[in-house]
Protein backbone atom coordinates (compact mmCIF):
# COMPACT_ATOMS: atom_id res chain seq x y z
CA UNK A 1 0.00 0.00 0.00
CA UNK A 2 1.18 3.50 -0.86
CA UNK A 3 0.23 5.95 1.91
CA UNK A 4 -0.79 8.89 -0.32
CA UNK A 5 -2.65 6.78 -2.92
CA UNK A 6 -6.42 7.33 -2.77
CA UNK A 7 -7.17 3.97 -4.44
CA UNK A 8 -4.94 2.14 -1.94
CA UNK A 9 -6.92 3.81 0.86
CA UNK A 10 -10.23 2.78 -0.72
CA UNK A 11 -9.04 -0.76 -1.49
CA UNK A 12 -7.88 -1.22 2.10
CA UNK A 13 -11.06 0.37 3.50
CA UNK A 14 -9.27 3.32 5.05
CA UNK A 15 -11.57 5.71 3.25
CA UNK A 16 -15.36 5.47 3.32
CA UNK A 17 -16.61 4.29 -0.07
CA UNK A 18 -19.53 2.08 -1.00
CA UNK A 19 -17.99 -1.10 -2.34
CA UNK A 20 -20.12 -2.87 -4.93
CA UNK A 21 -17.88 -5.93 -4.76
CA UNK A 22 -14.77 -7.02 -2.94
CA UNK A 23 -12.57 -10.06 -2.54
CA UNK A 24 -8.97 -10.67 -1.46
CA UNK A 25 -7.59 -9.31 -4.74
CA UNK A 26 -9.75 -6.32 -5.66
CA UNK A 27 -12.63 -3.95 -5.01
CA UNK A 28 -15.29 -2.40 -7.25
CA UNK A 29 -16.87 1.00 -6.68
CA UNK A 30 -18.57 3.81 -8.60
CA UNK A 31 -16.52 6.44 -10.41
CA UNK A 32 -17.07 9.84 -8.74
CA UNK A 33 -17.22 11.54 -12.18
CA UNK A 34 -19.23 9.04 -14.24
CA UNK A 35 -19.31 9.23 -18.03
CA UNK A 36 -22.27 6.84 -18.33
CA UNK A 37 -25.17 5.53 -16.25
CA UNK A 38 -22.88 2.65 -15.20
CA UNK A 39 -19.30 3.75 -14.60
CA UNK A 40 -17.61 1.48 -12.12
CA UNK A 41 -13.94 1.01 -11.28
CA UNK A 42 -12.31 -2.38 -10.78
CA UNK A 43 -9.26 -1.73 -8.59
CA UNK A 44 -6.70 -4.28 -7.36
CA UNK A 45 -5.75 -4.11 -3.70
CA UNK A 46 -2.10 -4.47 -4.77
CA UNK A 47 -0.62 -1.12 -5.74
CA UNK A 48 0.51 -1.20 -9.35
CA UNK A 49 1.10 2.27 -10.77
CA UNK A 50 -0.15 1.61 -14.33
CA UNK A 51 -0.25 -0.96 -17.12
CA UNK A 52 3.37 0.03 -17.82
CA UNK A 53 4.38 -1.29 -14.39
CA UNK A 54 2.86 -4.77 -14.74
CA UNK A 55 5.16 -7.69 -14.03
CA UNK A 56 4.86 -11.22 -15.44
CA UNK A 57 3.41 -12.42 -12.13
CA UNK A 58 0.51 -9.94 -12.48
CA UNK A 59 -1.06 -11.82 -15.40
CA UNK A 60 -3.53 -13.69 -13.19
CA UNK A 61 -4.57 -10.43 -11.52
CA UNK A 62 -5.36 -8.81 -14.88
CA UNK A 63 -7.37 -11.86 -15.93
CA UNK A 64 -9.29 -11.68 -12.64
CA UNK A 65 -9.97 -7.96 -13.14
CA UNK A 66 -11.47 -8.66 -16.57
CA UNK A 67 -13.55 -11.58 -15.27
CA UNK A 68 -14.78 -9.38 -12.40
CA UNK A 69 -15.73 -6.66 -14.89
CA UNK A 70 -17.70 -9.23 -16.90
CA UNK A 71 -19.52 -10.39 -13.75
CA UNK A 72 -20.20 -6.82 -12.62
CA UNK A 73 -21.58 -5.94 -16.07
CA UNK A 74 -24.09 -8.74 -15.59
CA UNK A 75 -24.90 -7.46 -12.08
CA UNK A 76 -25.44 -3.96 -13.51
CA UNK A 77 -27.68 -5.35 -16.25
CA UNK A 78 -25.52 -4.12 -19.12
CA UNK A 79 -24.02 -7.43 -20.19
CA UNK A 80 -26.47 -7.88 -23.07
CA UNK A 81 -26.96 -4.25 -24.12
CA UNK A 82 -23.21 -3.66 -24.21
CA UNK A 83 -20.43 -2.02 -22.27
CA UNK A 84 -16.83 -0.83 -22.53
CA UNK A 85 -13.76 -1.87 -20.57
CA UNK A 86 -11.02 0.74 -20.47
CA UNK A 87 -7.53 1.09 -19.01
CA UNK A 88 -6.15 4.65 -19.17
CA UNK A 89 -2.35 4.53 -19.28
CA UNK A 90 -0.23 7.51 -18.18
CA UNK A 91 -1.28 11.17 -18.36
CA UNK A 92 -1.37 11.28 -22.15
CA UNK A 93 -3.74 8.31 -22.11
CA UNK A 94 -6.07 9.93 -19.59
CA UNK A 95 -4.80 8.29 -16.39
CA UNK A 96 -5.47 10.60 -13.44
CA UNK A 97 -5.03 8.28 -10.44
CA UNK A 98 -1.75 6.40 -10.66
CA UNK A 99 -3.00 3.09 -9.29
CA UNK A 100 -4.00 0.53 -11.90
CA UNK A 101 -7.78 0.41 -12.45
CA UNK A 102 -10.21 -0.82 -15.07
CA UNK A 103 -13.27 1.23 -16.04
CA UNK A 104 -16.56 -0.60 -16.67
CA UNK A 105 -18.74 1.82 -18.65
CA UNK A 106 -22.23 1.23 -20.03
CA UNK A 107 -25.95 1.63 -19.55
CA UNK A 108 -26.74 3.96 -22.42
CA UNK A 109 -30.24 3.87 -23.82
CA UNK A 110 -30.81 1.30 -26.54
CA UNK A 111 -31.55 2.73 -29.96
Catalytic residues: 101
Show the DSSP H helices in 37-100 as ranges: 59-76
Q: Is 68 left (phi over 0), alpha (psi -120 to 50) or beta?
A: alpha
What DSSP designation does 57 have? G
Edge-first strand order for the sheet with 38-44 is 21-22, 26-30, 38-44, 102-106, 83-86
Neighbours of 42 (CB within 10 A): 25
Amino acid sequence: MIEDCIFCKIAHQQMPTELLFQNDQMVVFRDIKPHAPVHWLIVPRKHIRSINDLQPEDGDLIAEMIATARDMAKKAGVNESGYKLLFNVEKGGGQVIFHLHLHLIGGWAKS
